[in-house]
Structure 1
Amino acid sequence: MAAPGKLGDDEVEAEVEGTFDHSVSEGRERLHRSLRVMLTTGFLGGVEIGFGVLAYLSVYDVTKSPFLGSIAFAIGFAALYLAHSELFTEGFFYPIVAIFAGQGSMLQLARLWGLTLVANLAGGWTLMWLVVLAFPKLHATIAEKSREFVDAPLDLTSIALALLGGGAITLMTRMKAGSTSQVATLAASLAGAFLLIGLGLFHSILDSVIIFGALHSGAEGVTYGSWLAWFWYVTLANVVGGLALVTAPRLVRSSALVSGKAADTPPS
């Protein structure tokens, strides 16, 4: 018998199964979206992250504290979840679970990742164009933060920061999957913002939005070439970090459920 206040094995398994079923449902819905829905949810995701970046830069400009800035940036993650928009790095968890449960294909995953990535970047680029026009006093801060990324050498430290960034954002997605409470969603948003912004982890979309601000404002030393030289390896490392640090262990934990869900799926 389980000790008072503790879950027994059966109760733990029931919670794991409930989270798994929810993740499969979420992943299946994402994989089967229409082109219009993928592009609009992705564009809005980039815009909402851009608003979070604006809040972060505004606080950092005054306080010079990345930790306080991370609290402000949580606005972006909260908006992303509450508005049901899509972030490229969310695709490292839900769709993978759905595919392993036989509810989607790798081709659908490639389509989701590619379209969402492009739409996220387009939304962030557009929002930062407006930010640069509206807040010229932030130009110096935007340039300062952007150079932390484009000036970073391609070495083990940068790769480790990007691997951890992918793991952190996927962990945040996993935390959200484990609860239907909006309070829990906000807590996950705050935790993710602290890890990514407060600790300076590399995130392909979030940090690109900051770099776009520097490009729009004409910051010295920041070019589309320097962005791409940073972006390609950070994106790859984010994917590997998210899959290896969070998604794969969760699939191993739920392997029996994955097999059962695939077996329950009727042949097409």
Structure 2
Amino acid sequence: MRKDRRAGSEPEVAEAFGRVVEEGANRLARPWAPLIVTGIVGGVDVGTGVLAYLLVKEATGQTLLAGLAFGVGFVALLLARSELFTENFLVPVTAVAAGHNTVRSLLRLWSVTLAGNLLGGWLVAWLITQGFPDLRRTAIETGTHFATLGVNLRSFTLAVLAGMVITLMTRMQHSTESLGVRLVPSLLFGALLAGGQLFHSVLDSILMFAALTAGRAPFGYLDWLGALGWSVLGNIVGGVGLVTVLRLARVPRELADERSRQR
């Protein structure tokens, strides 16, 4: 019976691999204009989750409850078909490993998506602090937490965990074509990311932007930039190193076959 279950799981893994490769190839081949717009919209979508997070945290003072509310941002990402920088670890990396494009195209995708996420996120952060003055104190408190984590082992491990969590969410969503099922990881992992205060390059940047645009934040944009670089490094280690590479090791035959077809 155990042998049958193992044998039955292999086609499912291979099918998910095929979906990931196809979508990754499409993302890597995306023209400049759609790529830029998709990144900006992704930042706006996550910004809606930040608004929900700040509203609930201001009302309750509870980070975990605020994290549950943040899940709406990841639901928006999924339903609006926008993308987050860290969602582009598993899918395009798998496509590159399968021979569908180059590392240069991967770096182009990462850099443009991250820049777009940050631009869209800054805009929403400004709108939040201007439209909801009562949230400014909470925004400053929350943003300062991430700005002052520092460059150390603790902040790096939080960034690794954040990259791991988001990439695992991506993997789970690509294991099924059911939209209803795919919504579940969006809510659960969004709550884990925000409620656990993991060090995520885009989410925490938007929270820091909210603090900066609120005024009187005890840090500046240079502090944010340092936090961004450190969190990006940790996110890549967690998302690519701990999830993507290990998942690719499960499909060596499919990976080799796909490479041979691209030659």
**TM range, normalised to the smaller chain?**
over 0.9
Whether the aligned pair in 2 keeps the contact of 1:211 and 1:222 (CA below 8 Å) is: no
Q: Distance in 1 between matches of 2:92 and 2:245?
A: 13
Q: CA deviation at 1:165?
A: 0.7
Q: Distance in 1 between matches of 2:105 and 2:30?
A: 9
| Structure 2 equivalent of residue 161 of structure 1 | 158
Q: Distance in 2 between matches of 1:89 and 1:174?
A: 12
State TM-score, norm by structure 1: 0.95
Residues 31-110 of structure 1 mapped to structure 2, 5 A cutoff: 31-110=28-107
Q: Secondary structure at the match of 2:169?
A: helix
Q: CA deviation at 1:238?
A: 0.5
* Residue identity matched to 2:98: A
| Structure 2 equivalent of residue 116 of structure 1 | 113
In structure 1, runs of 5+ residues without a counterpart are none
Q: CA deviation at 1:7?
A: 5.9
Whether the aligned pair in 2 keeps the contact of 1:204 and 1:235 (CA below 8 Å) is: yes
| Structure 2 equivalent of residue 131 of structure 1 | 128
Q: CA deviation at 1:262?
A: 0.9
Identity %: 41
Greater Cα offset, 8-17 or 55-64: 8-17
Whether the aligned pair in 2 keeps the contact of 1:93 and 1:173 (CA below 8 Å) is: yes
1:173-225, Cα deviation, whole Å (9 max, x unpaired) = 11111111222221101221122111111000000001111111113312101
In structure 2, runs of 5+ residues without a counterpart are none
Give the number of equivalent residue pairs: 263
Q: Distance in 2 between matches of 1:137 and 1:175?
A: 37
Q: Distance in 1 between matches of 2:54 and 2:172?
A: 26
Tell whether 2:216 aligns with 1:228.
no
| Structure 1 equivalent of residue 236 of structure 2 | 239
Q: Secondary structure at the match of 2:151?
A: coil
| Structure 1 equivalent of residue 201 of structure 2 | 204
1:29 corresponds, among 10, 14, 26, to 26
State TM-score, norm by structure 2: 0.97
| Structure 1 equivalent of residue 181 of structure 2 | 184
| Structure 1 equivalent of residue 8 of structure 2 | 11
Q: CA deviation at 1:90?
A: 0.8
Q: CA deviation at 1:67?
A: 1.4
Instruction: Quote the RMSD (CA, aligned, Å).
Output: 1.3
